[in-house]
């Protein structure tokens, strides 16, 4: 994911989320940002493909030529549109799943520090082979580890898993992300 500048920037935005969830408004803004990033990523992935498929289908159906169009032309165009919408939705959900994975790595790192399984100041793995995944954020991880309990961190991980499950069951992405951000801000 960190190969392109856009991907690095998106990852930085995602990794900044846990530290920014200090109000209901911040939670709702973070959720909207996540969904916007996922939608933009899906649109970038499908834009050219969708246009090419539409042009190819129209050409195959005789659009741009003289004469009558086949009776099934409208149905074929509608079917292609439906397929393209389904693909865009699937790609958006895949992008949201990657966000959830990134957030999980953050809370995994926080938990390993809370359980004293790793030294956040060290970039080297512990004797057990554990290390921080997000080594570039070791200071923020250490601060987050001090400001919550391991139980709260586990509840946050559970909230991420619940959001993933909600998305798999076709809950609206914005609603799932809003619920997640509110749960991350106050794990109870």
Share of the chain above pLDDT 70, in %: 93
pTM for the complete prediction?
Answer: 0.81
**Which domain covers residue 81, as residue numbers?**
5-185
When pLDDT is averaged across residues 11-29 and rounded to a whole number, the result is: 93
Give the confidence band of 1 by pLDDT, cuts at 50, 70, 90: very low
Under DSSP, is residue 4 helix (H, G, I), strand (E, B) or coil? coil
Rounded to the nearest 10°, the torsion over CA 149, 151, 156, 157 is 120
| Helix (H), strand (E), coil (C) string for 168-186 | HCCCCHHHHHHHHHHHHHC
pLDDT digits 0-9 by tens, 49-88:
888 888 888 888 878 777 677 778 888 889 989 998 888 8
pLDDT-derived band at 6 (thresholds 50, 70, 90) equals confident
How many whole angstroms separate alpha carbon 186 and alpha carbon 165? 20
Domain tally, the chain = 1
In 3-159, the DSSP E strands lie at: none
Report the distance separating Cα 89 and Cα 73, nearest Å. Answer: 24
């Amino acid at each position: 994911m960190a190969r392109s500048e856009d991907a690095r920037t998106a990852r930085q935005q995602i990794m900044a989320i846990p530290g920014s969830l200090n109000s209901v408004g911040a939670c709702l803004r973070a959720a909207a940002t996540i969904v916007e990033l996922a939608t933009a990523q899906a649109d970038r992935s499908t834009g050219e493909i969708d246009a090419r498929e539409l042009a190819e289908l129209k050409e195959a159906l005789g659009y741009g030529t003289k004469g009558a169009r086949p009776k099934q032309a409208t149905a074929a165009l509608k079917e292609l549109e439906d397929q393209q919408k389904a693909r865009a939705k699937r790609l958006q959900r895949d992008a949201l799943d990657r966000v959830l994975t990134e957030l999980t790595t953050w809370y995994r790192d926080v938990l390993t520090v809370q359980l004293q399984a790793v030294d956040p100041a060290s970039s080297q793995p512990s004797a057990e082979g554990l290390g921080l995944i997000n080594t570039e954020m070791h200071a923020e991880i250490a601060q987050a580890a001090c400001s919550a309990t391991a139980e709260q961190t586990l509840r946050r991980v559970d909230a991420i898993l619940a959001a993933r499950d909600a998305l798999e069951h076709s809950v609206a992405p914005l609603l799932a992300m809003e619920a997640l951000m509110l749960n991350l801000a106050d794990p109870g």
